[in-house]
Amino acid sequence: MRKGQGPVRIRSELRERGIGAALIERYLEIYEDEWRALLENVHDAKYGVGRVRETKELAKRARFLEYRGFPGELIRQFLLD
């Protein structure tokens, strides 16, 4: 989380390192309420606070956030809010 990575990427990296799924889910669940704030911080650090409505720019930002490991639904809610 300190590196600005979302739950999807963290889960994937922990699985690659042999951590059990139950243990991963237990600890990711603790931060359930913080993922949106982290997504906003990561977005704003890269693109600034302003929001856009252009489809091409929204897609670019969504790809970046997806790469950082945030779930698609959370990205959509944030970008289209």
Read off the pLDDT of residues 7-26 as tens digits, 9 standing for 90 and up: 999 999 999 999 999 999 99
Q: Tell whether 2 is covered by a domain.
A: no
Question: Positive or negative, the Cα torsion across 8, 25, 19, 1?
Answer: positive
> Could you report the per-residue pLDDT of 43-64, keeping only the tens digit for each?
999 999 988 989 999 999 999 9
The predicted pLDDT at position 51 comes to: 84
Q: Tell whether 16 is covered by a domain.
A: yes
Q: Tell whether 43 is covered by a domain.
A: yes
pTM: 0.89
Q: Tell whether 17 is covered by a domain.
A: yes
The predicted pLDDT at position 28 comes to: 94
Q: Tell whether 1 is covered by a domain.
A: no
The predicted pLDDT at position 34 comes to: 95
| Domain encompassing residue 24 | 7-80
Who's near 46: CB < 8 A, 6+ residues apart? 64
Q: Tell whether 22 is covered by a domain.
A: yes
Look at the chain and report how many structural domains it folds into: 1
